Amino acid sequence: MKNIDVCLTPDLLHLHNIDNTIVIVTDIFRATSCMVTGFAYGVKAIIPVETVEECQALQAKGFIAAAERNAQKVDGFELDNSPFSYMDEKLIGEKIAMTTTNGTYSISKAKSSAVKVLVGAFLNLNAIVEYLKTQPYDVLVLCAGWKGRTNLEDTLFAGALVDAVQNEYFVAEDSAIMSMRLYQQAKDDMLGYLANSSHIRRLQRLGINKDISYCLQRDLYDVVPVLRGNELVNM
Amino acid sequence: MKNIDVCLTPDLLHLHNIDNTIVIVTDIFRATSCMVTGFAYGVKAIIPVETVEECQALQAKGFIAAAERNAQKVDGFELDNSPFSYMDEKLIGEKIAMTTTNGTYSISKAKSSAVKVLVGAFLNLNAIVEYLKTQPYDVLVLCAGWKGRTNLEDTLFAGALVDAVQNEYFVAEDSAIMSMRLYQQAKDDMLGYLANSSHIRRLQRLGINKDISYCLQRDLYDVVPVLRGNELVNM
């Protein structure tokens, strides 16, 4: 039987052997929710990069560029980190270079050894589940967290995914069990459940309640972003 | 207002500034449950050491020595890692040298910069809570986990402690919120809640169900082990 496991922050990825594993990176507020939205609206590719400087270099080569640090847009870039900014005709068929505080960092950490790196969000949860059914590999959900710390919303996504596939995968490790139980506790009112979480408070100070509600919607899009070389594309 | 936070494994301790903080180390199955039991039964001091070799060196100097690796006693030592072994007249007034897979390692990691390092278990939870009321410092619960990974039982203890002091402390971070919510979900049947956890399965293979039930009992002992120099003593 295949295994599913959860890594609660990229700072714990060293504990996992991912050689034979599909890694699903999630950063619910808001990097992976933006990526999924972008692909659903026709973006051709997203190049996740670690630094603002790399993002500027790609911008100079004609990429549309998106850079977020500490939940805010970096000056001089076209796109911010709101999923609504990715619902734009101008982006159809385009390539986007993107760097964010946590999400793109996690993708970089996973890509060296995983079989495949996918991007997950509540918005494409069922599409991920359906894809995994066709795959023989173990699965690790990598929560992007916040600067190395675990966060509630990414853990809830991990738990939702474990919950959805628990009959097909062996759920051996406590981090996966904990994530699933938190999700089961939260699922009927995720917004209420998250009301006191650290990142919600951080985002509410920035006035983006609309983004929060949007990112918690489930199965809006049938897209599965996958890393091919250095580019994320829709599978 | 004072802050309370939870570090889910010693591999994440680098994310926390503990200069002005009391760190409460917990390793429910079974190091800190053993320590608390030992003090309740009259042990004078426990010297936590990181390696089996250090433990042997102290044994040669006349200490009673306890060494556990991978949940089993290391050959050549007097004490195993069962709390029932600490209920022994021979230990009254004695000093014990102890090394365990996770618990003593966590104590070593915390002691360099914390204001104080305490040892917590369900067995002395209320004694810890009462002591904290007298202290002006922030609190960090450090879960020993299992070889760097998070585990359910230590997280539940952290959650129980956060739950008990939540009116006196600010609970800002998601790891503390997650721990508290898991505890709230588990508290009416902790044994059942833990039934599928990784460490319970590991321990059950070793046939120590009695230890498991014992370690989940709350407030049996009014002891607060604290690190003074290199020795844990009952405060």
Residue B103 vs residue B57, higher pLDDT: B57
By residue count, chain B amounts to 235
| Nearest-angstrom CA–CA distance, A195 and B69 | 42
d(CA B26, CA B81): 14
Nearest CA distance, A174 vs chain B (angstrom): 5
Mean of pLDDT values over B38-57: 95
Instruction: Work out the pLDDT band at A207, boundaries 50, 70, 90.
Output: low
Name chain A contacts of B149, Cβ cutoff 8 Å: 12, 15, 173-175
Predicted local confidence at residue B74, as pLDDT: 86
Tell me how far CA of residue A57 lies from CA of A52, B129, B166, in angstroms: 9, 54, 48
Angle A151-A156-A158 from CA coordinates, rounded to 5°: 100
Domains of chain B, by residue range, sit at 2-234
A195 in reach of chain B (CB within 8 A) = no
Q: What is the ipTM of this complex?
A: 0.92
Lowest mean pLDDT among A34-48, A64-78, B1-15: A64-78
Cis-peptide into B201, omega within 30 deg: no
CB pair distance less than 8 Å for A178 and B181: no
- Residue of B5, B178, B189 for testing the chain A interface, max A β-carbons within 10 Å: B178
Cβ atoms of B137 and B22 within 8 Å: the answer is yes
pLDDT band, residue B16 (cuts 50/70/90): very high
Mean pLDDT across the stretch A200-212? 77
Contact of A182 with chain B, judged by CB distance below 8 Å, is answered with: yes
pLDDT of residue B207: 66
pLDDT of residue A80: 87
Find the largest Cα–Cα distance for chain A. Answer: 49
pLDDT tens digit sequence for B154-168: 999 999 999 999 999
For residue A20 the two structure tokens come to 């034979």
| Count of residues in chain A | 235
Contact A149/B at CB under 8 A = yes
Which of B15, B148, B171 is closest, CB to CB, to A15?
A: B148
Q: What would the two tokens of residue B149 be?
A: 């990974």
Q: Nearest CB to B177: which of A147, A152, A178?
A: A152
Contact A174 B152 (CB under 8 A): yes
Tell me the HSE value of B182 on the side-chain side, using a 13 A CA sphere.
Answer: 33
Closest residue in B to A151 (Cα) is B174
**Who among B148, B173, B197 is closest to A177 (CB)?**
B197
Cα-based torsion angle of the residue sequence A7, A146, A118, A4 in order, rounded to the nearest 10 degrees:
20
The pLDDT of residue B51 is above 80: yes
Cross-sheet strand order for the sheet of A116-120? A72-73, A64-69, A95-99, A45-48, A231-234, A225-228, A116-120, A21-26, A138-143, A2-7, A169-170
Query: How far off is chain B from A198, nearest CA to CA, in Å?
Result: 6
Q: What is the mean pLDDT of chain B?
A: 93
DSSP secondary structure letters along A18-76: -TTEEEEEE-TTTHHHHHHHHHHTT--EEEE-SSHHHHHHHHHTT-EEEEEETTEEPTT
Look up the CATH superfamily of A2-234. Answer: ComB-like (3.90.1560.10)
Mutation target to probe the B interface, by most B beta carbons within 10 A, among A146, A150, A179, A185 is A150
Percent of chain A with pLDDT over 90: 80
Question: Band of the pLDDT at B98, cuts 50, 70, 90?
Answer: very high
